[in-house]
Structure 1
């Protein structure tokens, strides 16, 4: 229900909201804030459960950090692009099968590069000389030994350390693992790729928690047709209000109210908040009453990483037929890498990717300066590289609707932070990738968190009206559930 009047005080008291609810609304109403995959999943679930759902999205599009761009004449994901865990156990698998979406597997399980295998990469130094493959393999083995030794460092220290500090301790204890010259640069590139997994620098990542994520089996696969078809499918029949930026959430005794930037008020029986953690950290939404201290500390106790993409569309292919092109350097900050979409899709597109502090620094440049920088990297490797005919640039760190990409465990993270972040407050429930205990930072983690928030919200509403079994919960449409026998379409060129 949408109101333009100033009814804030009455709502908090619960009187007017209860009156409106009793006289005008027969079906319980839920407002979902945020149109990323977590919010879309929550809205989809509740709509299928016969609740009235209104989804408010601040952008002029749905998807959130899922942003499939079609301006190149082919889908290019400028945000999330991998399915982490190409297997039937992935909660997105039934929907991917039903929609007939294709996956291109870029790695198997336990890849040293997480989402790529060693044999799919070609590395160059900053002078444009190709790094011998044998050196890449040997330094990769050393990197794995270093990471294994950090387990001992973790056991020896009561207090949490950063991954960077742990690696330094390992190299101090085991000088035989140190690398010199170009081999040192290759080692820094491996650290750079590790940092990309968390979208944060190694000196910010918790040693205690960095390897505790539950990674599904089946390796990692690119969504060849992009992620948008999944979001679009979840959006079917949902009442979605684009360009509705929420600035205040008021929680009453029996109802809640959401106020948007233009002063419009929406009243509902419950609210599900799925906005990015970066938005909550920046206090861009006012809560009335204020969030309790335990919730505020939970929001501050997780880090938000940043990763950006510069996608380049060429009229010809001048690079080798590998999945990843890397630039090694004396520090992980100076390393770089290109994803070769031609290998996966047949289109002459390279995507330069940068994470952590370097990603924030790149956002300080203009689009044209960014492309010039990236092309200088390419021309070091390939002097005959042609200029791109089109380009795209993401700026997730300064985008006020995201303020970062996905969360990571900071040094000293409390063990109960995810439980506190996910815990409801009265009529307000929380979703989003940050509340996923085992799969934070992943699309399927965000999706599952949205479903969990919806199920908890529905149970809360049904208990409140005394009809816990009155409305049947349907996790997905019957059509999707019946598609479980359709195999995932996986390729590896």
Structure 2
């Protein structure tokens, strides 16, 4: 018989709540988690394993948030998060992946100029279908590395922040030898395009001061071959999750409770609430707070940027493209450059996934799904004129989806230094999770996971202190290692090429 999935192991199940009831004659502490993305699920799992009564309220008809594995092609296709950033035992998701026996396809090692790819398996073309010589791609890549290194000097010279694009412009003025001409210039634009995809926003909006300040785990980047869905389902096991429950209001009461109101008028009462909805939803004020959140909190939410990246997945009857990890198209502007991830290389299924970020992602959401797929096919046919129409296609709209209103956070030019501290700070018994809160690993699945765990721990501490039990329980680890999170000796299953 399988052991119970557990995040803790120092005390038997129920011990903490039993101690609280014995000492204080109180009922089991109750917490509401808003959002069933990986951050909300991690928070709920942590609370549940600490013997809290926890309920997750989710606006969608599915769990996972912006982690969504689609199976309509007859194979798993991640339409949101798809990489494990940091393929090593240091990644907090590694124990779950090992336990489930999931396979990773490593697409890059550490410090790749393309972030999630190495220049080992690719095809890059111009807008007329001519293949770009690999030596030119490497040459421009080396120049791009130097350009970015020189922007660090620009950053150190001035107290004022600027955009990455402005920093690059200054570098090229100072070092004309790094300027690129002709097709080499278009290749440089493609590198900038891939940088913009990493941040899900155009380079003229990315903070030069902050763009490279996050902490990258070792091990490079790996695609989840079977998709992220098994990980999400494992974390969510046995958690009370209410789907189609869109939260509209969170109220703090005079007796230290919170009332969470759901669309339609249903109310939930709890000792605390953990909010893990995407930063775009908070920025749009889709959840009302009573009393209103303090100005220091609302300004942190409003001052943070939220980027957008969409995927258009195409399934074909047969493979007609080369056996490379990705296909790209260079152009005179980063906006016009293209990128296709070849899932056939990693998974064996005849699927290409086109990725569009920033303004291009925003503009594509103005089109119908059919028109968007046609646009992507036009890009593909510039590389392969005889490309057939896809048998199926899928289109995301993360920017206009009311459940997300964007993808993940980015650092705005001139952002206040204390923004993240304020963003993650609780307001009484209202706690905040989500990928945006984890500044060290922002925009990643494991970063969102860790943010949920941290919010849960802070919430537990608050409740224990309020109940007067913290002094006796503070030496107890509330996150016990178990077979789900154990380090173990079974290695990650990794393939390449």
Shorter-normalised TM-score: what interval? over 0.9
Q: Which position in structure 1 is the counterpart of 2:82?
A: 81
Aligned partners of 2:250 and 2:290 also within 8 Å: yes
Q: Does 2:248 correspond to 1:247?
A: yes
Question: Match for residue 446 of structure 1?
Answer: 448
Is it true that 1:151 corresponds to 2:155 in the alignment? no
Mapped contact 1:58–1:245 kept (Cα < 8 A): yes
Contact 1:295 1:420 in 2 (8 A): yes
1: CA distance, partners of 2:444 / 2:487: 23
User: Alpha-carbon deviations, 1:299-354, whole Å to 9, x = none?
Assistant: 01211000000000011000011111001000001101000000000000000000
Q: For residue 314 of structure 2, give the secondary structure of its aligned residue in structure 1.
A: strand
Whether contact under 8 Å (2:457, 2:478) holds in the other structure is no
2:135 paired residue number: 134
Q: In the TM superposition, what are the counterparts of 1:98-117 in structure 2 within 5 Å?
A: 98-117=99-118
Match of 2:191 in 1: 190
Q: Distance in 1 between matches of 2:385 and 2:92?
A: 45
Structure 2 SS opposite 1:479: coil
Structure 2, unmatched stretches of 5+, are 1-24
1:270 aligns with 2:272: yes
1:479 to partner: Cα distance? 2.1
Structure 2 residue matching 1:222: 3-state secondary structure: strand
1:474 deviates by: 4.5
Worse overlay, 47-56 or 372-381: 372-381
Distance between the aligned counterparts of 2:228 and 2:479, measured in 1? 20
Which structure 1 residue ranges, 5 or more long, are not aligned? 1-23
Cross-structure match for 1:421: 423
Cα gap change, 1:156 to 1:483, in 2 (>3 Å): closer
What is the deviation of 1:464?
1.1
Whole-angstrom CA distance in 1 between matches of 2:322 and 2:26: 62
Quote the residue 2:349 is aligned against: 347
Q: Per the alignment, in what secondary structure is the counterpart of residue 218 of structure 2?
A: coil
Give SS of 1:119's match.
coil
In the alignment, what sits opposite 1:295?
297
Distance 2:486 2:92 in 1: 14
Q: C-alpha separation between the residues in 2 aligned to 1:157 and 1:120?
A: 39
Q: Partners in 1 of 2:69 and 2:26 — Cα distance?
A: 37
Q: Deviations over 1:14-57 (max 9, x none)?
A: xxxxxxxxxx9711100000000000000000001100000000
The match for 1:374 is 376
Alpha-carbon displacement from aligned partner over 1:116-160 (angstroms, at most 9, x marks no partner): 001222110111111111100000000001001101111122100
**Partner-residue secondary structure (3-state), 1:339:** strand
Shift of 1:483: 5.6
Distance 1:224 1:474, change over 3 A: farther
Correspondence for 2:14:
none
Secondary structure at 1:200 match in 2: coil
Mapped to 2, the partners of 1:118 and 1:482 lie a distance apart of: 34
> Match for 1:399 among 398, 401, 426?
401
**Is this contact kept in 1: 2:89–2:487, CA < 8 A?**
no
TM-score (norm 1): 0.94
2:18 paired residue number: none
Residues of 1 paired with 2:296 and 2:388: CA distance? Answer: 54
Q: Quote the residue 2:203 is aligned against.
A: 202
2-side partners of 1:71 and 1:27: how far apart?
Answer: 42
Tell me which residue corresponds to 2:13: none
